[in-house]
Amino acid sequence: MVSHAEFYHAYQSTIMKLNKMFSRAQNCKEAAAQFKELQNRFKLEELDMYAAFCCLAVGRCEEAIGNTLVASSEYSFVGNTFLKLELDRQQSLAPGFREHILEATRCYLMAIECYRENGLFYMSGSLFLELGLALMSMNEFEGATLYIRRAAEMIQGDSTLMAVQCLNFVLDCELEQGFLFEASCTASTICKLVTGQQSSKSRKNQKCAFSQQEIRESLFVLICLLLLTNQQEKAKTFINSKMFNDYNYSMSNSLLESYSSSFALSPTPSIIVTPNPSNTTTTIQIPTPTGTTPKQNPKNLPGTTPTPTSTSTPTLTPT
């Protein structure tokens, strides 16, 4: 079993050799090989943190001599290792200061930068998504929202389907934080992508076909969010738009119940959107349960006000 003193001595001795003639590529190669040997040794003894430090040193040496692709692979491995260490710490309820999350994020960003320098934007987006999903599983929703959204922006050029999936994860994070206004903006972007109203800027000119059910579900989520954030005028404009009418929109309460856990509403209001066959009048019914009070916006977000406790049924008529 390797002690802390032995690890420090072996690691420091390699660094001292490297500092003597750091500018020489041959010296970096020799140091990378020695760090790799230390890494394998610590792996066998299941000392993941020590192995991660050695792997990070290997990545720095490879990047110094110009092997950025090898370096990015090493950095992503280190980031993944620190995320696993943080997950183990949380499961064991041990105290911590998010040091593993910060180190993992730094390593992932270095790997992403190496891929971007080589023009591998899809790989960069994949790492953004991997980091975001890991943070999402640890309830770090703020960081997850940021990195998954950046993943969607990078992946969109290669796969509209993956971009929509990433935005759905962003939508989940925003709903978990209670950011309904931001969630409605994300849902609007999803609707434009799935209906083809927004260009995917695909470098491969591929067309990704979404099912009618997927499109209708996306439209339904957007309507719910617009109504929950008191954006009635925007909801009216959207319902009268060509995007809405092209898919003969009609939803039942059963689909709303499948989304009730995402909206975190208790009790869940019934929202029925029924277009008139003559396409002249669209009725939206939002019965409010008696004895309940609307959920206030926790962050006092711009553009949002508390939902009024009214049992009236608004009717939206196209102008």
> What residues have CB less than 8 Å from 5, skipping those under 6 apart?
none
What mean pLDDT is predicted for residues 244-271? Answer: 47
What pLDDT is stored for residue 131 in this prediction? 96
pLDDT band at 264 (very low <50, low <70, confident <90, very high): very low
The pLDDT assigned to 267 comes to 40
Residue 179's region, left for phi above 0, alpha for psi from -120 to 50, else beta, is: beta
pLDDT at 19: 61
Q: Strand 315-316: give its sheet, edge to edge.
A: 272-275, 282-285, 315-316
Whether 295 has a pLDDT exceeding 60, the answer reads no
Q: What token pair was written down for 205?
A: 């000119």
Q: What is the pLDDT of residue 218?
A: 83
pLDDT at 142: 94
269 vs 147, higher pLDDT: 147
pLDDT, tens digit (0-9, with 9 covering 90-100), for 83-129: 999 999 999 988 888 899 999 999 999 999 999 999 999 999 999 99
With a pLDDT cut of 90, the percent of the chain lying above it is: 36
Return the minimum-mean-pLDDT range out of 17-26, 136-145, 207-216, 253-262.
253-262
Look over the chain and give the mean of its residue pLDDT values, rounded to a whole number.
Answer: 75
Instruction: Report pLDDT for 162.
Output: 92
pLDDT average, residue stretch 45-69:
90
Over residues 135-191, the pLDDT tens digits come to 999 999 999 999 999 999 999 888 888 999 999 999 999 999 999 999 999 998 998
Which of 191, 141, 129 lies closest to 164 in space, CA to CA?
191
Per-residue pLDDT for 286 more than 70?
no
Q: Quote the pLDDT of residue 187.
A: 92
Contact 282, 316 (CB under 8 A): yes
Q: Which helix (H) or strand (E) holds 23?
A: none
Average pLDDT, stretch 204-228? 72
Any long-range contacts for 168-173 (C-beta under 8 Å, 24+ apart)?
169/132, 169/133, 169/136, 169/144, 170/145, 171/221, 172/136, 172/262, 173/136, 173/141, 173/144, 173/145, 173/148
For residue 169, what pLDDT is reported? 96
| C-beta separation of 294 from 280 below 8 A | no
Confidence of residue 5 (pLDDT cuts 50, 70, 90): confident
pLDDT higher than 80, residue 255: no
Mean pLDDT, rounded, for 45-65: 90
**CB-CB neighbours of 156 under 10 Å:** 22
pLDDT at 97: 85
Q: Name which residue leads in pLDDT, 102 or 197.
A: 102
pLDDT by residue (tens digit) across 75-96? 999 999 999 999 999 999 888 8
Question: Residue 211 — very low, low, confident or very high, per pLDDT cuts 50/70/90?
Answer: confident
